């Protein structure tokens, strides 16, 4: 059970770092672009660790699906909340 929890945590951090790194390095000012490239490097390093060093690819797949499901559920919840607020 702890392997799944660690894999989910590492997968969530990896995807967050990759997303933040891409956004900050592209849209950031000249000072913050270096931080974006650092986040991108950390995300790529975690992706390498999870996919090649850690031999539990089943845990990675499950963690990836769980992370995407959580994000999708959160987005749907926010959209429903905003629709309810706008309609009232």
Q: Quick: pLDDT tens for 17-28.
A: 888 889 888 888
| pLDDT for res 75 | 86
Nearest of 24, 11, 21, 28 to residue 71 by alpha carbon: 11
Give the start-to-end residue ranges of the domains of the chain: 2-87
Taking the C-alpha atoms of residue 53 and residue 33, their distance in angstroms, rounded to an integer, is 29
Angle at the Cα of 60 from the Cα atoms of 57 and 62, rounded to 5 degrees: 110
Question: Model's pTM, two decimal places?
Answer: 0.65
Nearest of 53, 39, 73, 71 to residue 7 by alpha carbon: 53
Q: Quick: pLDDT tens for 6-62.
A: 777 788 888 888 888 898 888 888 888 888 899 999 989 988 887 776 566 666 777
The pLDDT of 72-84, averaged and rounded, is 88
Nearest of 43, 39, 36, 41 to residue 10 by alpha carbon: 43
């Amino acid at each position: 059970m702890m392997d799944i929890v660690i894999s989910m945590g590492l997968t969530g951090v990896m995807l967050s770092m990759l997303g933040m790194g891409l956004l900050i390095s592209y849209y950031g000012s000249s000072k913050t672009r270096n931080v974006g490239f650092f986040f991108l490097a950390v995300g790529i390093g975690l992706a390498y660790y999870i996919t090649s060093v850690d031999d539990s690819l089943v845990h990675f797949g499950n963690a990836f699906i769980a992370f995407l499901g959580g994000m999708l559920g959160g987005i749907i919840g926010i959209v429903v909340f905003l629709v309810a607020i706008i309609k009232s």
